[in-house]
Amino acid sequence: MADKLNGQKVLLCVAGGIAAYKALELVRRLREAGAEVQVAMTDGAQQFVTPLSFQALSGHPTRTSLWDSAAEASMGHIELARWADRVLIAPATAGVLAKLAHGLADDLVSTLCLATTAPLTLAPAMNQRMWQHPATQANLATLRSRGAQVIGPEEGLLAEGESGPGRLSEPAAIVAALAGSAAAAPTDAALQGLKIVVSAGPTFEDLDPVRYLGNRSSGKMGFAVADSAARRGANVVLVAGPVHLPTPAGVTRVDVRSAAQMRDAVFAALPADVYVGAAAVADYTPRVPATRKIKKSGESLALDLVRTPDILSEVAAQTQALKLVVGFAAETENLVEYARGKLMAKRLDLIVANRVGVADGGFESDRNAMTALWKDGQREFVAGPKTRLADELIDLIVERLQA
Ligand code: PMT
């Protein structure tokens, strides 16, 4: 995926936060991926790292001021803004996000961002309370609505000794996400007018009026996929099991409870071009749910369960063929082997394997690590936020549609 950056001109803007030191590693990784990199720094960034360090790593003079007559004589800031194929701000501080959201142009970085037409990628890093502040979130929403790609931040220990969201994503993850979106222009065009049905979350199979069989799926992965596809122009129907998540903008949501209801809602949403089965559908349901609360009696209780419909297999077997049927596989071991088995058995075009039962991934977590498999190929997705993985999965779906 990183070869998507080969030959790309990346303008890296570094803002003033302790994570600025990680931007040095970012320059190295971007250049390894084949990108040409120029760096612009805010005054704050220069309190943490010297322009000379970036100059040594990028091979270009580092730009630090709007009013540097020598720099303006060689490549003025407007030319630099035009030069860039992509603009990446890492770390993007709360201050920089606020300036960009409001169109301020009072220093080199904010002016470059206003003067460029290149796609903008933001890798935020800041104190967790600054990140969670409604002002920062509103600024981000504004920037997202204008098409900015946002990578991270990650959760973890912050410089102040607190823990929470606010850490700059790892340079490798930023480069991977940037490489994914370097192919974004044709990708977005390819999604226009396409209908994508996504299933997400668990199903609950009622045993009696008060109890059910369920699982730990939060719906985060499926909702992120629906959100990513909708943001990029697809017409998305999201069939959601019982979860507590807001509906992504522009998505048509159908709430269901059981596997049988999910099947009906998915089929009601067809025909479609693509189906993504990210839901953790129960494999068994009570043969007959009790109409009254099951009373305690005896030392053990046997449940009579029957198989639920396999929604994914049924969709894949549709004669009124979809262009692409994508399954997920949640496995605790032999990830790739089992997933490839499901790819074949369910006659899927693509399957996304993720390891569950581990900390920092799978069910409930905001993060995941995935391996996508298709008939004659495989792609690893570097561990990271489900939102970024969803964007990368949509990239892959577009590639497979065009293959
Ligand atoms: O929701 P999150 O907390 O974000 O967690 C995400 C996730 C781990 C639930 C998700 O990434 C995931 O792996 N979803 C599939 C979980 C699962 O049920 O895997 P499975 O191996 O049991 O099923 C394989 C595929 O068949 C899945 O696409 C599933 O939707 C589908 N299936 C399974 C059973 C069934 N009766 N009908 C189906 O359509």
Share of the chain above pLDDT 90, in %: 68
**Does 187 score more than 60 pLDDT?**
no
The reply to whether 334 belongs to the active site is: no
123 and 212, same domain (yes or no): no
Of the candidates 6, 127, 139, 215, the residue annotated as catalytic is 215
Please tell me the predicted confidence (pLDDT) of residue 283: 97
Residue 133 neighbours by CB under 8 Å, 6+ apart: 94
Question: Please, is 333 exposed, middle or buried when counting C-beta atoms within 10 Å of its C-beta (0-12, 13-18, 19+)?
Answer: exposed
Q: Which residue has the tokens 């009013």?
A: 67
160 and 204, same domain (yes or no): no
**Does 181 score more than 80 pLDDT?**
no
**Does 189 score more than 80 pLDDT?**
no
Which pLDDT band, with edges at 50, 70 and 90, does 64 fall under? very high
Q: Tell which residue, 398, 275, 384, has the closest CA to residue 325.
A: 275
Residue nearest to atom 33 of ligand 1 (CA): 281
pLDDT single digits (tens) 127-151: 988 988 989 988 988 888 777 888 8
231 and 266, same domain (yes or no): yes
**Average confidence (pLDDT) over 39-50:** 97
Of 161, 183, 205, the residue that ends a domain is 183
121 and 209, same domain (yes or no): no
138 and 195, same domain (yes or no): no
Q: How many distinct structural domains can be found in the chain?
A: 2
Rounded distance, CA 384 to CA 387, Å?
8
- CA distance readout (Å), 84 to 106, 258, 270: 20, 50, 42
Residue nearest to atom 31 of ligand 1 (CA): 312
Ligand 1 within 6 A of 197 CB? Answer: no
Q: Given the CA of residue 215, which atom of ligand 1 is nearest to it?
A: 9
What average pLDDT does the structure give for the chain?
Answer: 91
CATH number at residue 69: 3.40.50.1950
Ligand 1 within 6 A of 188 CB? Answer: no
Angle, CA of 312, 366 and 215, to the nearest 5°: 50
Residue 318 neighbours by CB under 8 Å, 6+ apart: 270
193 and 158, same domain (yes or no): no
The answer to whether the predicted template modeling score (pTM) of the entire model surpasses 0.75 is no
Dist. CA 280 → ligand 1 center (Å): 3
**Which residue segment(s) compose the domain that 236 sits in?**
186-288+296-402
Please tell me the predicted confidence (pLDDT) of residue 185: 45
**Average confidence (pLDDT) over 204-227:** 97
247 and 391, same domain (yes or no): yes
Residue nearest to atom 26 of ligand 1 (CA): 312
Which pLDDT band, with edges at 50, 70 and 90, does 214 fall under? very high
Dist. CA 257 → ligand 1 center (Å): 15
Please tell me the predicted confidence (pLDDT) of residue 332: 87
- Choice from 204, 205, 217, 340 to test ligand 1 binding pocket (greatest atom count within 8 A of CB): 217
Which pLDDT band, with edges at 50, 70 and 90, does 186 fall under? very low
Please tell me the predicted confidence (pLDDT) of residue 313: 97
Tell me the β-bridge partners of 330.
Answer: 354
Structure tokens belonging to residue 255 = 């709430």
Ligand 1 within 6 A of 356 CB? Answer: yes
- Choice from 312, 349, 386 to test ligand 1 binding pocket (greatest atom count within 8 A of CB): 312
Q: At what angle do helices 386-402 and 184-191 cross, to 10 degrees?
A: 70
213 and 317, same domain (yes or no): yes
pLDDT single digits (tens) 78-109: 899 999 999 999 999 999 999 999 999 999 99
Helix H or strand E encompassing 132: helix 128-132
Dist. CA 36 → ligand 1 center (Å): 41
Please tell me the predicted confidence (pLDDT) of residue 184: 47
Dist. CA 273 → ligand 1 center (Å): 20
Please tell me the predicted confidence (pLDDT) of residue 141: 81
Q: Tell which residue, 126, 156, 148, has the closest CA to residue 366.
A: 156
**Average confidence (pLDDT) over 332-350:** 94
209 and 354, same domain (yes or no): yes
261 and 156, same domain (yes or no): no
**Average confidence (pLDDT) over 209-229:** 96
CATH number at residue 197: 3.40.50.10300
Dist. CA 329 → ligand 1 center (Å): 6
Rounded distance, CA 151 to CA 148, Å?
10
**Average confidence (pLDDT) over 387-397:** 92
Ligand 1 within 6 A of 258 CB? Answer: no
- Choice from 285, 308, 328, 350 to test ligand 1 binding pocket (greatest atom count within 8 A of CB): 328
pLDDT single digits (tens) 349-381: 999 999 887 777 889 999 988 999 999 999 988
Ligand 1 within 6 A of 215 CB? Answer: no
Ligand 1 within 6 A of 312 CB? Answer: yes
Of 122, 153, 183, the residue that ends a domain is 183
Dist. CA 354 → ligand 1 center (Å): 10
153 and 279, same domain (yes or no): no
pLDDT single digits (tens) 146-157: 778 888 888 777
Of 151, 183, 215, the residue that ends a domain is 183
**Average confidence (pLDDT) over 181-197:** 72
51 and 94, same domain (yes or no): yes
- Strand intervals (E) in 111-153: 120-124, 149-150
Residue nearest to atom 36 of ligand 1 (CA): 310
**Does 61 score more than 50 pLDDT?**
yes
**Average confidence (pLDDT) over 284-298:** 94
